[in-house]
Amino acid sequence: MSEFDDAVALGGRPGGDRTASLTEGWVIGAAVNGGILTALAVTAMRQAVEAAGGHGDALVFSAYFLSAAQPGPALLRPEVLRTGRSMSSASVAVVQADDRGPTEVERLRAMATFGDLDAQAGPVWRSAPPPDLPDPDACLRADRSAADFARAIRLLDRLDLRLDPRTAGWAVGRPSREGRIRAWVRLADGREPDAASLPFFLDALMPVTFDLGALGWAPTIELTGHVRARPAPGWLRVEISTQNVIGGLLEEDAVIWDSTGAVVAQSRQLAGVRMPVAEGGGA
Amino acid sequence: MSEFDDAVALGGRPGGDRTASLTEGWVIGAAVNGGILTALAVTAMRQAVEAAGGHGDALVFSAYFLSAAQPGPALLRPEVLRTGRSMSSASVAVVQADDRGPTEVERLRAMATFGDLDAQAGPVWRSAPPPDLPDPDACLRADRSAADFARAIRLLDRLDLRLDPRTAGWAVGRPSREGRIRAWVRLADGREPDAASLPFFLDALMPVTFDLGALGWAPTIELTGHVRARPAPGWLRVEISTQNVIGGLLEEDAVIWDSTGAVVAQSRQLAGVRMPVAEGGGA
């Protein structure tokens, strides 16, 4: 079993509450990575929808982050909202025991609509072209030994992440300030990408605000992703960008292309950021 | 009371289930407009959060459309998920009686996170510039008498919508095929825009696929919106666009600027579309 499949494995039976174990290996800073938590939530919803007779590909999902998930046991409570001829919808609550008391605390509430990606694999009428990246071997390997900022990011051990040098200047104190980071990415253990792992990859990179000179954390408030096609095996290309950084909030958009150059997923998240005062900024 | 405030008025008390009346005036095609339904859902969540002591500005909201809402009574069941120091979250189910039986049917499930927009009104570090539109009087007035496609759109009576002629060629059989529509918009009865009405404006235009030569309906599967600032009084500028039309699905992005040129809201929706075969399209 791959590290990813192990991370989204669920105890209990589809149709009822599910259990999961969040491990140290997917931690980033002070919390379990939002992407892996979202992939886990989508898995629980997918299995509930399939148990109710619905289709099993998440076409769209939204994750609302309510508190920082910690390594340890988690409980997932899926609810099937509707099963239809071509689409079905579900929600799920992800809760953990509260360190500070006898009660539980909700980490994440998510919703998703499922369908059949094969039925959507029609003509590509219009599509964002993939970014022109240097070969993976000509890109910068992002690993925990490479830079100070990366030491606390255990998640990087799970990924083979190669940053486009043109958008990685922030790692050496020279952010491009274009609000854009591009990279090749795949799972470090060689597991190939599929529709179920795309929700994870949409939130697997560093915050795009690194490229604006803000090297602090940018906690996700909400993330909505669309899965547009099944990815072919091989490297994924990811581009994250932002256009609006206002007060303490920004949107981060992500697009993923597979090894054939096809758009396979995209997302937008609302995140918090503390911009360094030296960056200026005007009304 | 304005037409908009009337449409989002709720019976019952905050903290419990709420009632609403969906009227013919907001119908578009065979369903009540998704934007007004979303604004109603956000209103119910906001009042529940405020009753629980939380902040009252929706910063982000997601609406999953489960079935087509019809004019008539509706019931809203809000649930407060979390109240925090700076942000609070809620969900809501919007249900109607089922025409085909004694049971109820869910129209919409939504979630939102609320905060204080004034606390986010800090420096604009980075922002999409407003599109350069001709003056409203030099734009095309979209009303129900103007074109065949518009007759069934009762919603247009609620809006003063002025389309940029450069992105309105579809109305006379000459779509630009750029995947972009721009317009000035305000409420027809003169009610000024505010943070509570922005969720409605994000889904008030015709589908962006009109500009790709697909004049059929494009039902919203899911819509997530971000409210980034309180709008100043006056005209709003809206731009909708799409980059990826794959098989029978597309994303539609919307950005709204207020009369001062500030970005005040943005959204992305996943919608269904049937592209005309004559449009071609390749793999």
Distance CA A16, CA A193 (A): 28
Percentage of the residues of chain A whose pLDDT score is greater than 90: 81
Query: Hey, CA dihedral for B69, B75, B80, B85, is it positive or negative?
Result: positive
| Average pLDDT for B135-155 | 82
Residue-level pLDDT at A146 = 67
| Average pLDDT for B207-213 | 95
The boundaries of the domain holding residue B213 are 136-272
CB contact under 8 A, B60 and A222: yes
Residue B114 lies in a domain: yes
Residue B136, amino acid: P
Chain B residue with minimal CA distance to A119? B247
Instruction: State pTM to two decimals.
Output: 0.96
Residue-level pLDDT at B42 = 98
Question: Could you tell me if B52 lies within 8 Å of chain A, comparing CB atoms?
Answer: no
Distance CA A95, CA A28 (A): 19
Distance CA B161, CA B153 (A): 13
Same domain, B219 and B252: yes
Residue-level pLDDT at B200 = 97
CA A263 to chain centre: 16
Distance CA B89, CA B56 (A): 10
| Global ipTM | 0.95
Q: Smallest Cα–Cα separation from B113: which of A269, A244, A105, A69?
A: A269
Residue B190 lies in a domain: yes
Q: Which two tokens stand for residue A269?
A: 């998240």
Chain B residue with minimal CA distance to A91? B109
Residue-level pLDDT at B279 = 55
| Contact in structure between A125 and B246 (CB atoms under 8 Å) | yes
Point out the least confidently predicted range of A181-190, A211-220, B38-47, B238-247. A211-220
Residue found by looking up tokens 């971000």 in the block: B226
Residues in chain A, how many?
A: 283
List the end-to-end C-alpha distance of chain B, in Å, as a whole number. Answer: 52
CB contact under 8 A, B246 and A122: yes
B278 pLDDT above the threshold of 80 = no
Å from B185 to nearest chain A CA?
Answer: 22
Chain B residue numbers touching A283 (CB-CB < 8 A): 123-124
CB contact under 8 A, B268 and A263: no
Q: Where are the alpha helices (DSSP H) in chain B?
A: 3-7, 34-51, 198-201
Same domain, A113 and A170: no
Residue A224, amino acid: T
Residue B218 lies in a domain: yes
| Average pLDDT for B16-26 | 94
Residue B128 lies in a domain: no
Chain B residue numbers touching A244 (CB-CB < 8 A): 126-128, 228, 263, 266
| Contact in structure between B32 and B25 (CB atoms under 8 Å) | no
| Contact in structure between B98 and B106 (CB atoms under 8 Å) | no
Same domain, B175 and B249: yes
Distance CA B122, CA B128 (A): 16
Residue-level pLDDT at A153 = 80
Residue-level pLDDT at B281 = 45
Same domain, A86 and A153: no
Q: Which two tokens stand for residue B215?
A: 């004049």
Residue A175, amino acid: P
Point out the least confidently predicted range of A112-126, A228-242, B136-150, B201-215. B136-150
Same domain, B141 and B115: no
Beta-ladder partners of B126? A245
Distance CA A201, CA A183 (A): 11
Question: Could you tell me if A86 lies within 8 Å of chain B, comparing CB atoms?
Answer: no
DSSP sequence for B223-260: EEEEE-SPPPSS-EEEEEE-S-EETTEEEEEEEEE-TT
Q: Smallest Cα–Cα separation from B228: which of B202, B190, B205, B251?
A: B202
Question: Could you tell me if A241 lies within 8 Å of chain B, comparing CB atoms?
Answer: no
Distant-in-sequence, close-in-space partners of B67: CB < 8 Å, separation ≥ 6: A82, B105, B106, B107
Domains: count for chain A = 2
B173 pLDDT above the threshold of 70 = yes
Chain B residue numbers touching A211 (CB-CB < 8 A): none
Average pLDDT, chain B: 93
CA angle B271, B276, B278 (to 5 degrees): 145
Same domain, A146 and A257: yes
Q: Confidence band (pLDDT; 50, 70, 90) for B276? A: confident
Q: Which of B104, B113, B126, B264 to probe by mutation at the A interface, max A CB count within 10 Å?
A: B126
Same domain, B235 and B199: yes
Distance CA A6, CA B9 (A): 48
Q: Confidence band (pLDDT; 50, 70, 90) for B219? A: very high
Residue-level pLDDT at A76 = 98
| Domain end position, chosen among B53, B85, B119 | B119
Per-residue DSSP letter, A189: T
Distant-in-sequence, close-in-space partners of A103: CB < 8 Å, separation ≥ 6: none
Q: Which two tokens stand for residue B271?
A: 């919608």
| Average pLDDT for B51-60 | 95
Q: Which two tokens stand for residue B140?
A: 């095309």
Residue B276, amino acid: P
CB contact under 8 A, A64 and B113: yes
Buried/exposed B130-169: b ≥16 CB within 10 Å, e otherwise: bbebeebeebbebeeeebeebeebbbbebbbbbbbeebbb
Segment 165-194 of chain A within 8 Å of chain B by CB: 179
Residue B146 lies in a domain: yes
| Domain end position, chosen among B77, B94, B119 | B119
Residue B109, amino acid: R
- H/E element, A114: strand A104-115
Same domain, B187 and B261: yes
Å from A2 to nearest chain B CA?
Answer: 30
Q: Smallest Cα–Cα separation from B72: which of B105, B111, B43?
A: B105
Residue B39 lies in a domain: yes
Chain B residue with minimal CA distance to A260? B283
Residue-level pLDDT at B120 = 86
Per-residue pLDDT tens, chain A, 283 aa: give them.
899 999 999 999 998 999 999 988 898 878 899 999 999 999 999 999 999 999 899 999 999 999 999 999 999 999 999 999 999 999 999 999 987 777 899 999 999 999 999 998 889 999 999 999 999 999 999 887 766 767 778 888 999 999 999 999 998 899 999 999 999 999 999 999 999 999 999 999 999 999 999 988 899 999 999 999 999 999 999 999 999 999 999 999 999 999 999 999 999 999 999 888 665 444 3
Query: Hey, CA dihedral for B192, B196, B198, B199, is it positive or negative?
Result: negative
Same domain, A143 and A105: no
Residue A247 lies in a domain: yes
- Local structure of A92: helix, strand or coil: strand
Residue B20 lies in a domain: yes
Same domain, B83 and B195: no
CATH number for A244: 2.40.160.210
Q: Which of B107, B242, B246, B270 to probe by mutation at the A interface, max A CB count within 10 Å?
A: B246
Point out the least confidently predicted range of A31-40, B26-35, B237-246. B26-35
Residue-level pLDDT at A149 = 67
| Contact in structure between B206 and B266 (CB atoms under 8 Å) | no
- H/E element, A37: helix A34-51
| Domain end position, chosen among B119, B144, B160 | B119
- Tens of pLDDT, residues B79-107: 999 999 999 999 999 999 987 777 899 99
B245 pLDDT above the threshold of 80 = yes
Same domain, B101 and B18: yes
- Closest CB to B221: pick one of A67, A81, A113: A113
Q: Where are the alpha helices (DSSP H) in B148-213?
A: 198-201
- Tens of pLDDT, residues A153-169: 888 899 999 999 999 99
Residue-level pLDDT at A283 = 36
Same domain, A205 and A111: no
Residue-level pLDDT at A278 = 62
